[in-house]
Amino acid sequence: MRPFIKPATANAPAKVKDGGVISLVKAGDAAYNAKSGELLLLPGGALSLRQIKERLSVRLFEEAGLQPVNCGSDEAIFSLAERYVRDWGDSALSYLDERGRDIRLLGWSKDVAAAEQKTDEIMKAASDELEQICAGTPFSFVEETIPDGRSFSLLFPCEQGAIGARPGFLCRSCGKILLADSPFEFRSPQPGENEPEEELKEVATPGANTIAELCSQLNLDVKRTLKAMLYVAASEKADGLSPVASFIRGDYNISLSKLSCWLRNEYGLLGLRSAEKQELQSFFGEVAGYCGPVGMPENVILVCDSSVLGARNTVAGANHPGYHCTGCCYGRDFAGKIADIAQPGEGSPCACGGSFEATALRDAGVIQFGHDCKNDAPASEKVDKKLSYRDREGSHEYPVIWRGALSAERILLETGRLR
Ligand SMILES: [Zn+2]
């Protein structure tokens, strides 16, 4: 019997923070090239990687109907689907393809609801298997808002600087994970909700064109302020730009991605960007730093984050330089559509009663669907063709593409912690 190389060592590799890498190296299953950031898998690690791919592939086939193929490109998978959809129907619309250390997921659905159901099945099947592979290691598929559909990333809380780490937020009480552009409906109660409504009053606040300065001049809790962010966006149909004024409680920030998505769904607007100086003046007037929702011009699209709903006796810009209004009440003094457009942040409240804190998350895969996949897929992976065919019953269309990948390497790093 020839021996496998398995150079187990008690010493952690120098300067490596990734707990997964450290365990694999100590077990003698991998070496780490710190210069290139490459994980070199020794026989033990390579075998585990193969097992992870195998187990996920079998589970995704059995529970979600993904056909295991070996094609090497999305283009090739498309040609398989096109060739077999007439005779094999649904079975010929869902694929998984092992590519190096990744498993590519790709398929077509007849509408958004069907794509949603399919991605749910895929996440369920992958989670069922991952619970066994990563026994006890916490992970979640976390939704992020993307322009034309929905995206779910497979994330494991990890160390800063770990392979594949990205910033996000974790509630340590319930384990819920959020990314900066995740849907995030829960907001803490309004501070003044039980107070009687005050009179709307203008007060001089010279030089208070930031929330911090405003709070210090009026001795306010940041939660008693409204922050304005002014944008312009282009219509798909009409020429010209539409002005957009968004309002959010002072302790939150706007997610441009969520706001873009909302404007696209509600008004068909595209290309959201900050209003330039000239545009500020012509659309909103002399309001820079002092913009508020009371008395906005009629043509401005006014949208308020959920954190503004029920705001009472809050302070907002008065729409002329050097002044703010106190006693602003949502519903009485201003309205505006309510939308979920905030970014979660450090300290944001969780529905469980806990709060979110910033953390690093290992990104180990994604599954997403939409009508317009060409927008965000890298050029090498572009498959923007709708699948369609004709038979005696007429023509059949599968215009919604779902796609994703699972990284067996990053999952292996998580199982490394169990060694
Ligand atoms: Zn929680």
Predicted confidence (pLDDT) per residue in 305-360, tens digit: 999 999 999 999 999 899 999 999 999 999 999 999 999 999 999 999 999 999 99
Closest CA relative to residue 142, chosen from 157, 162, 161: 157
Q: What confidence tens digit (pLDDT) does each residue in 220-250 have?
A: 999 999 999 999 999 877 778 999 999 999 9
Report how far Cα 133 is from the mean position of its chain's Cα atoms: 25
407 C-alpha to ligand 1 centroid (Å): 27
Q: What confidence tens digit (pLDDT) does each residue in 386-415 have?
A: 788 888 888 999 989 999 999 999 999 999
* CB 306 within 8 Å of CB 342: yes
338 C-alpha to ligand 1 centroid (Å): 24
185 C-alpha to ligand 1 centroid (Å): 13
Residue 376 pLDDT? 44
175 C-alpha to ligand 1 centroid (Å): 6
157 C-alpha to ligand 1 centroid (Å): 15
User: pTM for the complete prediction?
Assistant: 0.89
205 C-alpha to ligand 1 centroid (Å): 38
* CB 326 within 8 Å of CB 313: yes
Q: What is the DSSP letter of 280?
A: I
Q: How confident is the model at residue 59 (pLDDT cuts 50, 70, 90)?
A: very high
Residue in the block written with tokens 């790709």: 106
**Cβ burial, residue 222 (10 Å; 0-12/13-18/19+):** middle
Reported as half-sphere exposure (CB side, CA atoms, 13 A), residue 106 has a value of 28
CATH 3.90.960.10 intervals, the chain: 201-343
Residue 233 pLDDT? 95
Residue 372 pLDDT? 55
Q: What confidence tens digit (pLDDT) does each residue in 158-202 have?
A: 999 999 999 999 999 999 999 999 999 888 888 888 899 999 999
Check whether domain 201-343 has CATH 1.10.10.10, yes or no: no
Q: What confidence tens digit (pLDDT) does each residue in 65-107 have?
A: 999 999 999 999 999 999 999 999 999 999 999 999 999 999 9
CATH 3.30.930.10 intervals, the chain: 19-184+357-416
Residue 371 pLDDT? 64
249 C-alpha to ligand 1 centroid (Å): 21
Query: Domain spanning 19-184+357-416 has what CATH number?
Result: 3.30.930.10
Question: Is the confidence at residue 293, as pLDDT, over 90?
Answer: yes
331 C-alpha to ligand 1 centroid (Å): 30
4 C-alpha to ligand 1 centroid (Å): 45
